[in-house]
Amino acid sequence: MNALALLRRFWPALIVLALGLWAARLDHLRADYRQTLTNERAAWSATIASAEQSRLSIEARNARQLAAAAERYAASLADRQPIILRSRDTVTRYAQTDAGRALCLAADRVRGAAADRAALFAEPANPSEGGQRAVPPGSPDNPS
C-alpha cells in the first residue's frame, strides 16, 4: 500500500486529528487568557487597595490638620479676648504681673499721654489769615 491508498482510507482520521489539534490550541489560548486576566485582576486589586490606603491616610492627615487649625484658631480667639478689669484691686494685681507691666501704663505715662492728646487736638490760638474779611464779589464762593 502506498501513501495515496493510505490517505484515501484514513482521510476522516486526518480531519479529526486537525480538529483535535485546533481544539488543543484553543484550550491553550483560553488558559493563557484566563491566567492573564487573573494576573490583571490581582494587580488591579492591589492597586485599588493601595489607592484606598493612600486615600485613608490622606483623610486622616486632613482630619489632623483641621483639628490643629481649629485649636490654633481657638487659641488665637482666646488671645484676642479683651481683659476686662472691674476693680482697682484687680488692676493693681494685674499690673504686678509680667504681662501687666508690659501693658499697663504708669501714672506719669498716662498724664503724658493726656498732655500729648491735648497738644495735638487743642483749638487753634489764632484764626487763619483772611478769616475776618468778607468774600470779594465775583469769586467762586460769592458769584454776585
pLDDT at position 109 is: 61
Decide if 107 is inside a domain.
yes
> Structurally, how many domains does the chain consist of?
1
pLDDT tens digits, residue range 35-64?
999 999 999 999 999 999 999 999 999 999
Decide if 19 is inside a domain.
no
pLDDT at position 107 is: 60
Round to whole Å and give the CA distance between 136 and 131. Answer: 12
Q: Which domain holds residue 98?
A: 83-120
pLDDT at position 115 is: 76
How large a percentage of the chain has pLDDT more than 90? 42
Q: What cell was used for 110?
A: 498716662
pLDDT at position 6 is: 83
Q: Which is more confidently placed, 101 or 79?
A: 79
Decide if 137 is inside a domain.
no
pLDDT at position 15 is: 92
pLDDT at 134 over 80: no
pLDDT at 84 over 70: no
Task: Compute CA 39 distance to the chain's CA centroid, rounded to the nearest angstrom.
Answer: 39
pLDDT at position 93 is: 79
Q: Which stretches of the chain are DSSP H helices?
A: 3-80, 88-95, 98-103, 107-120
Decide if 27 is inside a domain.
no
Average pLDDT of the residues of the chain = 81
Contact 95, 101 (CB under 8 A): yes
Round to whole Å and give the CA distance between 55 and 50. Answer: 9
Round to whole Å and give the CA distance between 144 and 141. Answer: 9
Amino acid, res. 73: Y
pLDDT tens digits, residue range 101-125?
666 666 656 666 677 777 787 766 5
Amino acid, res. 99: A
CA atoms within 13 A on the CB side of 38: 6
Decide if 116 is inside a domain.
yes
